[in-house]
């Protein structure tokens, strides 16, 4: 039943995203033929002749409804069409880009979970202590700082000054560290706060006092009873952070020269590559549904009370 | 919680950092702003020629002279309509197949079928005859060899092209051969053992498209890239003090200019356009925004031989005289200081694009400088294609743009396109029969000496576009290599002549 409702949700998301992106792209100001020509040939070679050739080739003067219906028909056969700029199948390009983005997002999420919750728990077990107060300041600052600023600061410190890591690029394991860290710091700032509050609440609860009262040390209490409790708000938080992650990926990818879907989406919007925009938005929308479904399932395992 | 986070992280970073420190993996790494769109020469051909992967029949020497490339020589018939290009022998494509006249003609016929280059040259037929490619023209064009030096006329093997004529692979003849390409950002290449010329010194090269100028400069600084193309003005100043990179900078045949809709009543006389020109403090603007020592004194930069005329009286900065001219044309300041005439305000929209990061900055400075003479601008920084689009619809007032006079290495290619009589990136609402006649004669190769300077003088007097600055190209080369250079014609990175420094 929950899977069925998620599947239904996915279909609705696909339809809404497809129609909405199509309508938004059509309502953007400017002549699509010129924009596409600029995307293909660059600003030195875009002119009225190139735009007219694009218009004739793509049949841009044709009826809009027909274009939309054709896209939906193709989608039903799992065909996303061909990029108007590169002429390559949208599926191939997105598979490549989504892979790169997913790798980066996963690395960032993992790193944020390694940084945020442990620090938050340490702070939460001693609420009001110096560490708790310091963490509040640091996490507020990191959350408030725009991601491109964090990214540039990391490049300047770790790549230019210390020379530990490459400033930008893609393809080697060390290329992951800076962009993933730039994303992770913002995410960790939030998960540290959530973990801190949850830990402080747990440490003040009756079951915690009972556990310590029966002779378990504080660490063992945390490991045996605490972590599962803390996991519920944290998992919910991770699900919500997915949105932040998608936003962040767009910014971070363009700073670090990462060939991901965020980067591709921005360029596709600039050059009116409607099939690419639809494909990328659809992929992001569906991955949102999938992530939420996975979080639901995980929460059910961690806290089986609701499922009964 | 024995494993403290800081120590774990430090260990993680150090573990991953080890290979980064040893980034000298024998590959010469290039970073430039251009994204790889597809294997087709019309979209990404300039990357393939710059990376020495694909070649053209005609090449350009450092002084701008046309020199043999895949063609060893060329001759034209007496009537100027039939050109014969002798194809070099012993040249192989990267897949091992030999280059012959038919393969070259095939690549050029495919280029002819795509808009924008050879169709503009008036080419009617391209055929192989023996070991030569024969090109027929509808009208004489002395600059035809220059058109064949453009990147869209690069010669790829017949197997590179799909049935629709779009290239699906880049099988060129250059000293480097692609080993992997992942659009839009990266490609790797290695020395091609079967190259007809001298083998490159460094056997492996890579290309990364990095859109942000700041990131590119940081990659140069951190040693991630050995050759970084196109630096922003602020990075040039910063990197110039670096111990690890050399900054190279050279004037290039590209100008920053203001395209004027001369059909607008406010700007339909040379006097009115001269007033606008007098309002521009070119030296101040160039020094503050572009960090160049000087602004443009005429449209064509000194590098554009024949078209630049040192004797031409320079464009001046004199806002007082600008105001006097406009007063003489019937404009009077309104309540807010903006000029008015017959109830119309001197208010214009300036269209520009952020692809070149300096353009919106220059637009903001122009807004202030024009305001001093009572002209108010609203700036629309949008997609580059809005300039040709608004040219076509007549909606453009002013366009701020950067124009390359060496797209086709002979400036007549750009001049014919932009000013004879009008063009998407040139004159608008301005037509000059004398100029068209001069340009036509130059294109046919029938012009008298001094015709180019004469044509430039017409543009200086009439100001169908208002020149602002001459560009310089800047790049950063790692001190780990030697032999890096700037090609003022923006055709090649010159990778084959770069070697590791001892």
Task: Flag if A168 and B211 touch (Cβ within 8 Å).
Answer: no
Enclosing H/E stretch for B319 = helix B319-328
Chain A nearest C-alpha distance from B124 (Å) = 18
Task: Flag if B43 and A40 touch (Cβ within 8 Å).
Answer: yes
Residues of chain A positioned with their CB less than 8 A from the CB of B116: 41, 45, 47, 49-50
Residues of chain A with CATH 1.10.3720.10: 91-302
In this prediction, residues A219-244 reach a mean pLDDT of: 82
Closest residue in B to A256 (Cα) is: B215
Chain B nearest C-alpha distance from A7 (Å) = 33
Q: Is residue B321 over pLDDT 70? A: yes
Residues of chain A positioned with their CB less than 8 A from the CB of B37: 39-40, 85-86
Q: Is residue B147 over pLDDT 60? A: yes
| Residue from A163, A227, A265 to probe the interface with B (highest B Cβ count within 10 Å) | A163
Task: Flag if A96 and B182 touch (Cβ within 8 Å).
Answer: yes
Ranked by mean pLDDT, which of A21-30, A120-129, A230-239, B450-459 comes out on top? B450-459
Q: How confident is the model at residue B381 (pLDDT cuts 50, 70, 90)?
A: very high
pLDDT in tens, A78-88: 788 888 888 88
Enclosing H/E stretch for B46 = helix B41-50
* B255 strand-pairing partners: B403, B470
* B246 strand-pairing partners: B477
Looking at chain B from residue 373 to 402, which residues have their Cβ under 8 Å from any Cβ of chain A?
382-386, 388-389, 391-392
Q: Any residues with CB less than 8 A from the CB of B286 and at least 6 apart, and which?
A: B292, B293, B294, B295, B469
Please check whether residue B241 touches A, CB under 8 A. Answer: no
Which pLDDT does position B142 carry in this prediction?
A: 92
Chain B nearest C-alpha distance from A247 (Å) = 18
The encoded tokens of residue B409 equal 């290495």
Q: Is residue B12 over pLDDT 90? A: no
Please check whether residue A159 touches B, CB under 8 A. Answer: yes
pLDDT in tens, B323-340: 999 999 999 999 999 999
Most distant CA atoms of chain B, gap in Å: 89
Rg, C-alpha atoms of chain A = 24
- B132 in helix, strand or coil? strand
Q: Is residue A308 over pLDDT 50? A: no
Contact criterion met (CB below 8 Å) for A280 and A264: yes
Q: Any residues with CB less than 8 A from the CB of B31 and at least 6 apart, and which?
A: A257, B207, B208, B209, B210, B216, B219, B220, B224, B225, B227, B228, B229
Which pLDDT does position B328 carry in this prediction?
A: 96
CA-based nearest residue to B192, from B68, B67, B99, B72: B99
Contact criterion met (CB below 8 Å) for B472 and B402: no
In this prediction, residues A127-150 reach a mean pLDDT of: 90
Chain B nearest C-alpha distance from A168 (Å) = 7
Task: Flag if A257 and B389 touch (Cβ within 8 Å).
Answer: no
Closest in A40, A43, A168 to B210, CB measured: A168
Q: Any residues with CB less than 8 A from the CB of A31 and at least 6 apart, and which?
A: A51, B385, B389
In this prediction, residues A266-284 reach a mean pLDDT of: 87
Full set of structural domains in chain B with CATH: 38-173 (3.40.190.10), 251-472 (3.10.105.10)
Secondary structure percentages of chain B, helix, strand, coil, to 5: 30, 25, 45
In this prediction, residues A188-216 reach a mean pLDDT of: 86
Please check whether residue B364 touches A, CB under 8 A. Answer: no
d(CA A279, CA A271): 15
Classify residue B10 as exposed, middle or buried by CB count within 10 Å of its CB (0-12, 13-18, 19+): exposed
Q: Is residue B15 over pLDDT 60? A: no
Which pLDDT does position A161 carry in this prediction?
A: 81
Which pLDDT does position B145 carry in this prediction?
A: 95
Residues of chain A positioned with their CB less than 8 A from the CB of B428: none
Place of tokens 């900065």: B317
Closest residue in A to B356 (Cα) is: A43
Residues of chain B positioned with their CB less than 8 A from the CB of A55: none
Q: How confident is the model at residue B20 (pLDDT cuts 50, 70, 90)?
A: very low
Closest residue in B to A163 (Cα) is: B222
Q: Is residue B312 over pLDDT 60? A: yes
In this prediction, residues B437-458 reach a mean pLDDT of: 93
Sign of CA dihedral B46, B50, B56, B59: positive
Ranked by mean pLDDT, which of A271-280, B8-17, B353-362, B381-390 comes out on top? B381-390
Residues of chain A positioned with their CB less than 8 A from the CB of B215: 155, 167-168, 255-257
Enclosing H/E stretch for B474 = strand B465-478
Chain B nearest C-alpha distance from A30 (Å) = 7
Enclosing H/E stretch for B43 = helix B41-50
Chain A nearest C-alpha distance from B376 (Å) = 24
Please check whether residue B19 touches A, CB under 8 A. Answer: yes
Count, residues in chain B: 502
Which pLDDT does position B5 carry in this prediction?
A: 45
CA-based nearest residue to B287, from B466, B485, B472: B472
* Alpha carbon of residue B414 to chain centroid: 11
Which pLDDT does position B8 carry in this prediction?
A: 47
Please check whether residue A55 touches B, CB under 8 A. Answer: no
Task: Flag if B210 and A85 touch (Cβ within 8 Å).
Answer: no
Chain B nearest C-alpha distance from A151 (Å) = 10
Q: How confident is the model at residue B16 (pLDDT cuts 50, 70, 90)?
A: very low
Please check whether residue B209 touches A, CB under 8 A. Answer: yes
**What percent of chain A is predicted at pLDDT more than 70?**
98
Contact criterion met (CB below 8 Å) for B48 and B177: no
Closest in A118, A170, A176 to B1, CB measured: A118
Contacts 24+ apart (CB under 8 A), B198-202: B198/B496, B199/B175, B200/B52, B200/B175, B200/B176, B200/B495, B200/B496, B200/B497, B200/B498, B201/B483, B201/B496, B201/B497, B201/B498, B201/B499, B201/B500, B202/B26, B202/B27, B202/B28, B202/B481, B202/B495, B202/B498, B202/B499, B202/B500
| Residue from B29, B206, B383, B393 to probe the interface with A (highest A Cβ count within 10 Å) | B383
Please check whether residue B423 touches A, CB under 8 A. Answer: yes
CA-based nearest residue to B256, from B116, B365, B378: B365
Mean pLDDT across chain A: 85
Q: What angle do CA A188, A190, A194 make, to 5 degrees?
A: 110
Q: How confident is the model at residue B366 (pLDDT cuts 50, 70, 90)?
A: very high
- B24 in helix, strand or coil? coil
State the distance between the two ends of chain A, measured CA to CA, in whole angstroms: 14
Q: How confident is the model at residue B140 (pLDDT cuts 50, 70, 90)?
A: very high
The CATH homologous superfamily to which domain A91-302 belongs is: MetI-like (1.10.3720.10)
Ranked by mean pLDDT, which of A194-208, A215-229, B23-37, B437-451 comes out on top? B437-451
A vs B: CB pairs below 8 A: 171
Of the given ranges (A7-11, A65-69, B399-403, B425-429), which has the lowest mean pLDDT? A65-69
Task: Flag if B219 and A172 touch (Cβ within 8 Å).
Answer: no
Q: How confident is the model at residue B23 (pLDDT cuts 50, 70, 90)?
A: very low
Closest in A48, A170, A171 to B388, CB measured: A48
Indicate the Cα dihedral angle B159, B173, B404, B105, nearest 10°.
-50
Mean pLDDT across chain B: 91
In this prediction, residues A130-151 reach a mean pLDDT of: 90
Task: Flag if A164 and B186 touch (Cβ within 8 Å).
Answer: no
Which pLDDT does position A306 carry in this prediction?
A: 62
Q: How confident is the model at residue A59 (pLDDT cuts 50, 70, 90)?
A: confident
Closest in B14, B37, B392 to A86, CB measured: B37
Please check whether residue A280 touches B, CB under 8 A. Answer: no
CA-based nearest residue to B208, from B183, B226, B187, B231: B187
Which pLDDT does position A1 carry in this prediction?
A: 53
pLDDT in tens, A243-265: 778 778 888 888 887 888 888 88
Q: How confident is the model at residue B22 (pLDDT cuts 50, 70, 90)?
A: very low
Please check whether residue A276 touches B, CB under 8 A. Answer: no
Which pLDDT does position B14 carry in this prediction?
A: 44
d(CA B222, CA A168): 10
pLDDT in tens, B285-306: 999 888 888 899 999 999 888 8
Please check whether residue A218 touches B, CB under 8 A. Answer: no
Ranked by mean pLDDT, which of A23-32, A216-225, B278-287 comes out on top? B278-287
Which pLDDT does position A199 carry in this prediction?
A: 86
Q: How confident is the model at residue B284 (pLDDT cuts 50, 70, 90)?
A: very high
Task: Flag if A86 and B183 touch (Cβ within 8 Å).
Answer: yes
Specify the higher pLDDT residue, B426 or B242.
Answer: B426
Which pLDDT does position B424 carry in this prediction?
A: 93
Task: Flag if A45 and B116 touch (Cβ within 8 Å).
Answer: yes
In this prediction, residues A120-148 reach a mean pLDDT of: 89
Contact criterion met (CB below 8 Å) for B491 and B253: no
Q: Any residues with CB less than 8 A from the CB of A26 and at least 6 apart, and which?
A: A64
Specify the higher pLDDT residue, B356 or B154.
Answer: B154
Q: Is residue A215 over pLDDT 90? A: no
Q: How confident is the model at residue B63 (pLDDT cuts 50, 70, 90)?
A: confident
Q: Is residue B13 over pLDDT 60? A: no
Please check whether residue B219 touches A, CB under 8 A. Answer: yes
Task: Flag if A176 and B16 touch (Cβ within 8 Å).
Answer: yes
pLDDT in tens, A72-118: 888 777 788 888 888 888 988 888 888 888 889 889 999 999 999 99
């Amino acid at each position: 039943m929950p899977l069925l409702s998620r599947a239904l949700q996915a279909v609705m998301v696909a339809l809404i995203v497809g129609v909405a992106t199509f309508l938004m792209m059509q309502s953007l100001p400017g002549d699509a033929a010129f924009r596409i020509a600029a995307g293909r040939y660059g600003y030195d070679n875009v002119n009225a002749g190139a735009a007219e050739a694009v218009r004739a080739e793509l049949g841009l003067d044709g009826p809009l409804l027909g274009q939309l219906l054709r896209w939906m028909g193709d989608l039903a056969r799992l065909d996303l069409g061909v990029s108007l700029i590169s002429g390559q199948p949208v599926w191939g390009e997105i598979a490549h880009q989504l892979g790169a983005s997913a790798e980066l997002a996963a690395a960032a999420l993992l790193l944020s979970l390694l940084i945020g919750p442990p620090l938050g728990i340490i702070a939460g077990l001693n609420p009001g202590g110096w560490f708790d107060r310091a963490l509040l300041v640091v996490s507020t600052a990191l959350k408030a700082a725009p991601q491109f600023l964090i990214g540039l600061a990391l490049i300047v410190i770790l790549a230019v000054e210390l020379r530990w890591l490459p400033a930008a690029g893609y393809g080697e394991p060390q290329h992951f560290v800076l962009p993933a860290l730039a994303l992770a710091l913002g995410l960790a700032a939030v998960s540290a706060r959530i973990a801190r509050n949850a830990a402080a609440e747990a440490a003040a609860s009756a079951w915690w006092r009972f556990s310590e009262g029966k002779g378990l040390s504080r660490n063992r209490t945390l490991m045996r009873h605490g972590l599962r409790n803390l996991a519920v708000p944290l998992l919910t938080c991770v699900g919500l952070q997915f949105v932040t992650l998608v936003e962040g990926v767009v910014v971070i990818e363009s700073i670090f020269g990462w060939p991901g879907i965020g980067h591709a989406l921005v360029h596709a919007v600039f050059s009116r590559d409607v099939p690419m925009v639809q494909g990328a938005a659809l992929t992001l929308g569906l991955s949102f549904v999938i992530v939420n479904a996975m979080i639901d399932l995980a929460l059910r395992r961690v806290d089986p009370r609701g499922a009964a | 919680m024995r494993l403290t986070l800081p120590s774990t992280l430090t260990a993680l970073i150090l573990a991953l950092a080890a290979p980064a420190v040893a980034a000298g993996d024998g590959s010469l790494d290039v970073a430039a702003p251009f994204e790889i769109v597809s294997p087709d020469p019309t979209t990404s051909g300039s990357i393939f020629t710059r990376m020495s992967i694909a070649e053209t029949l005609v090449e350009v020497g450092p002084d701008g002279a046309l020199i043999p490339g895949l063609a060893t020589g060329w001759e034209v018939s007496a009537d100027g309509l039939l050109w014969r290009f002798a194809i070099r022998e012993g040249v192989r494509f990267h897949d091992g197949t030999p280059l012959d006249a038919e393969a070259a003609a095939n690549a050029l016929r495919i280029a002819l079928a795509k808009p924008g280059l050879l169709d503009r040259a008036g080419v009617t037929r391209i055929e192989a005859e023996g070991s030569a490619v024969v090109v027929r023209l509808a009208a004489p064009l002395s600059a035809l060899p220059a058109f064949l030096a453009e990147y869209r006329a690069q010669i790829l093997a017949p197997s590179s092209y799909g049935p629709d004529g779009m290239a699906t692979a880049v099988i060129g003849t250059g000293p480097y051969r692609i080993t992997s390409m992942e659009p839009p950002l990266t490609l790797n290449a290695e020395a091609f053992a079967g190259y007809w010329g001298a083998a490159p010194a460094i056997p492996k090269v890579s290309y990364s498209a990095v859109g942000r100028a700041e990131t590119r400069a940081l990659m140069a600084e951190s040693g991630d890239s050995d050759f970084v193309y196109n630096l922003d003005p602020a990075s040039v100043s910063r990197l110039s003090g670096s111990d690890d990179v050399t900054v190279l900078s050279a004037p290039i045949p590209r100008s920053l200019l203001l395209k004027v809709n001369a059909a607008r009543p406010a700007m339909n006389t040379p006097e009115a356009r001269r007033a606008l020109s007098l309002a521009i403090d070119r030296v101040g603007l160039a020094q503050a925004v572009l960090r160049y020592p000087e602004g443009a004194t005429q449209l064509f930069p000194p590098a554009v031989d024949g078209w630049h005329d040192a004797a031409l009286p320079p464009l001046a900065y004199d806002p007082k005289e600008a105001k006097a001219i406009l007063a003489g044309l019937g404009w009077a300041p309104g309540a807010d200081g903006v000029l008015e005439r017959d109830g119309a305000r001197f208010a214009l929209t300036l269209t520009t694009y952020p692809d070149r990061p300096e353009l919106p900055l220059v637009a903001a400075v122009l807004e202030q400088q024009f305001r001093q003479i009572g002209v108010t601008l609203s700036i629309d920084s949008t997609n580059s294609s809005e300039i040709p689009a608004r040219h076509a619809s007549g909606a453009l007032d002013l366009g701020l743009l950067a124009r390359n006079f060496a797209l086709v290495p002979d400036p007549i290619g750009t001049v014919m396109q932009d000013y004879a009589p009008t063009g998407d990136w040139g004159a608008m609402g301005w037509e000059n029969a004398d100029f068209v006649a001069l340009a036509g004669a130059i294109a046919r190769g029938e012009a008298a000496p001094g015709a180019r300077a004469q044509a430039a003088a017409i543009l200086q007097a009439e100001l169908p576009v208002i020149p602002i600055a001459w560009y310089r190209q800047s790049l950063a080369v790692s001190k780990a290599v030697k032999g890096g250079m700037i090609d003022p014609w923006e055709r090649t990175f010159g990778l084959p002549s770069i070697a590791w420094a001892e």
